[in-house]
């Protein structure tokens, strides 16, 4: 019997909402940051000033603040103990830049205080990288080997590590933003109106992580539907 080579794979439909959410979230964070990058804080702090100020408030004098090239490439590097702020954040006095800088310092504080989710996330990064590299090749080999169910299931299990990483990332990012906003408000670094702007920027940034988690979960679901129930003939 002849079977057509091409057929409609309905499971791709699962990825469409996730793709739309990801595109919208990225556009939203860029647009929101651009909006509040034009709103200057009345106290005149730069992103670097705020990062240094909050670090010192928490006794993290050993953590450095450095400039890094790019736009929204801000991050905390626990290995080097450095908060790196992008060109758009480091010397800017905008509400958006201050919110981002405070968020990255929030990660430094998480690490210093032993916040459990960030410890777990950092500890599994090497394993997740290996799993991410091997999952698709192993699954493909299983398919090519007459639907070898053992290899297919192993590939799906390895891909699950990526999903787990994305899910653990959510509380880490939300907590860092909550710490940032509380500090900016309680220490009078931003006034009430400016806090709303910083909150909008961090909320938009958080949605990109939500979108990444949704994409990972839907990709895993698609793999399970495609291959999870198949058995070698």
Residue 11: per-residue pLDDT: 82
Residue 138 or residue 1, greater confidence: 138
Domain boundaries, the chain: 10-228
pLDDT at 100 over 50: yes
Q: Calculate mean pLDDT across residues 20-29.
A: 96
How many other CB atoms sit within 10 Å of the CB of residue 2?
A: 4
Which are the contacts of 56, defined by CB distance < 8 A and separation ≥ 6?
none
Q: How high does pLDDT run on average in the chain?
A: 92
* Rounded Cα–Cα distance for residues 143 and 119 (Å): 36
| Residue/partner pairs of 82-86 with CB below 8 Å, 24 or more apart | 83/51, 83/55, 83/107, 83/108, 85/47, 85/48, 85/51
Which alpha helices (DSSP H) does the chain contain, by range?
Answer: 15-36, 47-57, 87-90, 95-112, 116-144, 149-186, 192-223
Residue 229: per-residue pLDDT: 62
| Tokens representing residue 143 in the block | 């398919």
pLDDT level of residue 147 (50, 70, 90 thresholds) = confident
Q: Is 104 a catalytic residue?
A: yes
Which are the contacts of 204, defined by CB distance < 8 A and separation ≥ 6?
25, 28, 29, 31, 32, 33
Measured distance between the N- and C-terminal CA atoms of the chain, rounded to whole angstroms: 17
pLDDT level of residue 233 (50, 70, 90 thresholds) = very low
Q: Calculate mean pLDDT across residues 45-59.
A: 98
pLDDT at 230 over 60: no
pLDDT at 212 over 70: yes
Q: What is the DSSP string of 120-179?
A: HHHHHHHHHHHHHHHHHHHHHHHHHTT--HHHHHHHHHHHHHHHHHHHHHHHHHHHHHHH
pLDDT level of residue 104 (50, 70, 90 thresholds) = very high
Comparing CA positions, the residue from 26, 68, 36 lying closest to residue 184 is 36
Q: Calculate mean pLDDT across residues 77-85.
A: 96
Residue with tokens 């801000």: 74
């Amino acid at each position: 019997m002849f079977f057509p080579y091409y057929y409609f794979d309905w499971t791709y439909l699962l990825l469409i909402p996730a793709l739309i959410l990801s595109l919208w979230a990225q556009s939203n964070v860029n647009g929101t940051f651009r909006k509040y990058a034009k709103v200057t804080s009345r106290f005149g702090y730069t992103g670097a000033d705020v990062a240094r100020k909050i670090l010192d408030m928490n006794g993290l004098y050993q953590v450095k603040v450095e400039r890094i090239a790019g736009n929204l490439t801000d991050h905390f590097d626990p290995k080097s103990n450095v908060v790196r702020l992008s060109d758009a954040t480091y010397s800017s006095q905008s509400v958006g830049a201050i919110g981002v800088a405070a968020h990255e310092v929030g990660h430094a504080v998480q690490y210093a205080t032993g916040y459990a989710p960030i410890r777990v996330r950092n500890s599994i990064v090497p394993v997740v990288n290996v799993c991410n590299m091997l999952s698709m090749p192993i699954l493909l080999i299983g398919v090519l080997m007459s639907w070898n169910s053992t290899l297919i299931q192993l590939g799906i299990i390895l891909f699950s590590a990526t999903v787990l990483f994305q899910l653990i990332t959510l509380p880490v990012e939300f907590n860092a933003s909550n710490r940032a906003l509380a500090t900016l408000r309680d220490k009078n670094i931003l006034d009430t109106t400016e806090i709303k702007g910083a909150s909008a920027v961090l909320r938009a940034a958080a949605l990109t992580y939500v979108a990444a988690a949704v994409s990972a979960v839907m990709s895993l679901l698609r793999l399970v539907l495609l291959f999870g129930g198949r058995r070698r003939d």
